[in-house]
Amino acid sequence: MAEFTISDDVLANIKDQVILITGGSSGIGRATAQVCLDQGAKVVIGDLNPPPSDSNSDFQETDRIKFIQVDVTSWESLRNLFDQTNQLFGGIDHVFANAGVGPTTDFLDVTLNEAGHLEPPNLRTINVNLISVLYTINLASAYMKQLASRRPVNKTGSIVLAGSASSYQTFTAGDYTIAKHGVVGMVRGLMVKMENEGEIRLNAIAPSWTDTGMIPAQAIRDLGVPVQSAATVAKSVALLFADENRHGEVIYSAGGLYKEINKAEGGLVSAAEALNFPSDHPDDVVRVIFGQLPKP
């Protein structure tokens, strides 16, 4: 499981291709949109809110970049996103299922209603980080198969899922960890069938701590834990779009270095155990995020 770097040269294959990114207005999604635009791709950002822009921004709408409002937890809203993207550009080459939220609940908490009966747990994080990803895979697969004939011979579509280091570690943020483990489960559960069909590749990223605006990056650095830029992670997404040989992979990233861990020798568990995680105490980082641990 050798580490590798990513040069801009290997990303050139995405020029003029149509890329749909959910959660593309900020963080890793926005950084991925920027990398794709820099490589000459056409980008559709699906998000609740449009990306911040100014007169010098690449994110003002042009014939190469469009914003479509979407609620990824709604099947109808997501289907509309795919419909509109298809109408705008005549097809979709790659999809990044990136929309996500942080932890929102403790599944072991007990909440009672006014009648004293147990209330169901809050499933917001599961719905956004897991169920919407399944929706996105289903829609992406359907739309890409319909339009497979528009692609050059030996070119496939691809879907990239946003996992994280919590996809294979023990974290105290239960709902988030459950969802991100499920993301890797989707790759492992669908990769063989999709490989046999031969039209669409399925991969995921599993980055270490990343400055996305969702976490207090400096507070984490104060623990002695490195935090990478969203642009670093974005290059791994673009690589999975561009490289026709990558399927069923999960790419871990930290500080500009990348490792494939799902198909590594010894399997995912062995590969994950071999990683030098950037914190010996990942739960300390989780507690800092929620203000539960004094900052150094």
**Catalytic residue flag (residue 155):** no
Residue 49 DSSP SS3: coil
One-letter amino acid of 161: L
Three-state secondary structure of 175-197: HHHHHHHHHHHHHHHHHHHHHHH
CA 46 to chain centre: 13
**Catalytic residue flag (residue 295):** no
Tokens representing 213? 């605006």
Question: At 201, phi and psi to the nearest 5?
Answer: -95, 145
Q: Which of 42, 143, 180, 252 is catalytic?
A: 180
The CA-atom distances, in angstroms, between 45 and each of 29, 65, 211 are 8, 8, 20
DSSP 91-133: --SEEEE---------TT---B-TTSPBPPPP-HHHIIIIIHH
Q: Which of 143, 176, 252, 258 is catalytic?
A: 176
Query: Considering only CA atoms, which of 25, 103, 111, 98 is closest in space to residue 68?
Result: 25
Which positions are annotated as active-site residues?
A: 176, 180
